[in-house]
């Protein structure tokens, strides 16, 4: 992989103690040796096109700052530490002002990671991140089922022929070069139009509203997928009290434990081949509350990955 297309992430390693190892000291130092590859997509132009609050482009490094001070799970120390030691942080993708070209570039990178037999974890960025993530499957010629945890369906039409943070899953469902499917959980009924539900029905996509959300149902949609799955976590699915720093806050959103439980189960599922986490907006965060929760979700996901049956 051409690593010159990345810029190094910005985080401070505040903990160096052999008796108290933190993720920042455990990460693999080269791509070739890694099984897991973390990369940042510092883009929120799609959010701005969709009328949202700008700031998600700053999220990758804010989330890393919280993630890399965490420890491996002491209950599963050996396996979790081993997986973290096989995790490489490529940095943030160098991006331009052109959303489409940024997404294409992300897709090329994800495609290469998948073809190399590695597992990509993408930190956004707005939800336009997921379309670039998906293009990796197109590049690798792999069918994919997308499972989204989100307050919104994100199947809006394009604007002036251009994608945005509200359109990624319409763009995915209308891709014809590979077979796709879509499930979305955690929808807020006051934030999803009837037209969006009609579109989900027409495309035979499955959906569940916030009031009936269950981690078991979320996990079942991954298990029943007849093809590899990519999972995406939009932090605006969580209640604003726990996640104030997002592009579109949710009153009466899911509990933190719902997000963390879903992240763990997705990591545990052998059907999941990649993940992204999006829509953290540090500009509007309070005491890094949302970045901390996002980091905890990625931590839970990696714990699940480490416990997969070999």
Taken in order of first residue, the domains within the chain and their CATH numbers are 6-143+229-306 (3.40.800.10)
pLDDT recorded at residue 29 = 92
Q: Is the pLDDT of residue 264 over 60?
A: yes
pLDDT tens track for 77-115: 999 999 999 999 999 999 999 999 999 999 999 999 999
Across 172-200, average pLDDT: 96
> For the ranges 6-10, 71-75, 186-190, which has the lowest average pLDDT?
6-10
Taking a C-beta distance cutoff of 8 angstroms, is the pair 226, 182 a contact? Answer: no
CA distance 258 to 254: 6
Backbone angles phi, psi at 145, to 5 degrees: -105, 125
Query: Partners of 276 in the beta sheet?
Result: 122, 232
Residues 6 or more apart whose CB falls under 8 angstroms from that of 61 comprise 9, 10, 11, 40, 42, 92
CA distance 239 to 237: 7
Residues 6 or more apart whose CB falls under 8 angstroms from that of 247 comprise 44, 47, 52, 53, 55, 56, 126, 165, 236, 279, 281
pLDDT recorded at residue 92 = 96
Residues 6 or more apart whose CB falls under 8 angstroms from that of 263 comprise 233, 297, 298, 300, 301, 304
Token pair of 93, please? 């993708």
H-only helix segments in 29-70: 45-49, 59-67
Taking a C-beta distance cutoff of 8 angstroms, is the pair 53, 245 a contact? Answer: no
Q: Is the pLDDT of residue 12 over 60?
A: no
pLDDT recorded at residue 6 = 73
Q: Is the pLDDT of residue 306 over 60?
A: yes
Across 227-244, average pLDDT: 98
**Angstrom distances, CA of residue 10 to CA of 13, 68, 194, 211, 230:** 10, 11, 42, 38, 27
Q: Is the pLDDT of residue 183 over 90?
A: yes
pTM (2 d.p.) = 0.95
């Amino acid at each position: 992989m051409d690593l010159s297309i990345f810029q190094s992430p910005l985080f401070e390693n505040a903990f160096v103690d052999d008796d108290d190892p933190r993720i920042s000291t455990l990460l693999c130092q080269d791509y070739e040796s890694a099984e897991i590859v973390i990369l940042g997509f510092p883009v929120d132009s799609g959010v701005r096109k969709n009328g949202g609050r700008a700031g998600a482009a700053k999220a990758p490094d804010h989330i890393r700052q919280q993630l890399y001070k965490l420890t491996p799970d002491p209950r599963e120390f050996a396996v979790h530490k081993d997986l973290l030691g096989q995790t490489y942080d490529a940095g943030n993708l160098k991006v331009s002002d052109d959303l489409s070209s940024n997404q294409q570039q992300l897709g090329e990178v994800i495609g290469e990671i998948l073809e190399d037999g590695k597992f990509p974890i993408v930190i956004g960025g707005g939800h336009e991140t997921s379309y670039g993530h998906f293009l990796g499957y197109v590049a690798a010629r792999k069918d994919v089922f997308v499972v989204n945890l989100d307050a919104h369906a994100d199947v809006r039409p394009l604007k002036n022929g251009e994608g945005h943070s509200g359109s990624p899953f319409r763009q995915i469902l209308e891709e014809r070069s590979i077979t796709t499917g879509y499930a979305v959980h955690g929808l807020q009924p006051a934030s999803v139009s009837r037209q969006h539900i009609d579109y989900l029905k027409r495309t035979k996509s499955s959906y569940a509203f916030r009031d009936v959300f269950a981690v078991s149902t979320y996990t079942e949609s991954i298990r029943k997928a007849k093809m590899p799955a990519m999972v995406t976590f939009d932090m605006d699915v969580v209640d604003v009290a726990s996640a104030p720093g997002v592009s579109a806050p949710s009153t009466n959103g899911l509990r933190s434990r719902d997000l963390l439980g879903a992240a763990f189960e997705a990591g545990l599922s052998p059907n999941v081949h990649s993940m992204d986490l999006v829509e953290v907006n540090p500009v509007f965060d309070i005491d890094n509350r949302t970045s901390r929760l996002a980091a905890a979700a990625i931590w839970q996901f990696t714990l699940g990955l480490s416990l997969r049956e070999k």
